[in-house]
Amino acid sequence: MNQNTDDPIYYATEVVAKDNMAQFLGITAEEVKHGYARCSITIKPQFLNSLDRAHGTIIYALMDQALAVASNSTGYNAMSLKVSITYIASAIDGEKIFAEAVPVKIGNKISVWKINVTGNDDKIIASGEGLAYHK
């Protein structure tokens, strides 16, 4: 496997977490540790669906970003292979939501991650699983 840097937390926080899409959407990394990331976004009117609830794509983007940051914090270059989501509750305009990614198993080439999205009062908005490939 190829190491991404001598300081994987710095790489995950300052490079991966601040990629162009994350900056465009307003996703920020709140906390990053080895094999862990907590990212957030505040729901804007542009992120709402026809029912005035957060569109699934913004929840997916937040989950995918948490997976990317967490998997790259392990010291190796990693890319998302798959994210599966179960939507449980909705988020509303102005609500700040959080995605946390934690490892289930980190293998030589593939890692499995649990990703949960929460909102106000720790309400569970979505739960999912991610797979990452370690280059």
- The confidence score (pLDDT) of residue 2 equals 56
pLDDT, average across residues 28-43: 98
For the segment(s) 8-134, the CATH number from 3.40.50.920, 3.40.50.9100, 3.20.20.140, 3.10.129.10 is 3.10.129.10
- Taking only the tens place, the pLDDT of each residue in 50-72 is 999 999 999 999 999 999 999 99
For residue 36, pLDDT over 90 is answered with yes
pLDDT, average across residues 72-98: 96
For residue 4, pLDDT over 80 is answered with no
Contact in structure between 76 and 134 (CB atoms under 8 Å): yes
Residue 75 region by backbone torsions, left for phi larger than 0, else alpha for psi between -120 and 50, else beta:
left
- The confidence score (pLDDT) of residue 1 equals 47
pLDDT, average across residues 76-92: 96
Full DSSP string of 76-113? B-EEEEEEEEEE-S---TT-EEEEEEEEEEE-SSEEEE
The residue count for the chain: 135
Q: What distance in Å separates the CA atoms of residue 19 and residue 64, rounded to the nearest whole number?
A: 12
Reduced to 3 states, what is the DSSP secondary structure of residue 123?
coil
pLDDT range class, residue 3, cuts 50, 70, 90 = low
- The confidence score (pLDDT) of residue 33 equals 98
For the full predicted model, state whether its pTM sits above 0.75: yes
pLDDT range class, residue 135, cuts 50, 70, 90 = confident
- The confidence score (pLDDT) of residue 116 equals 98
pLDDT, average across residues 86-102: 98
DSSP state of 4: -
Q: What distance in Å separates the CA atoms of residue 95 and residue 43, rounded to the nearest whole number?
A: 5
Closest CA to 108 of 11, 2, 24: 2
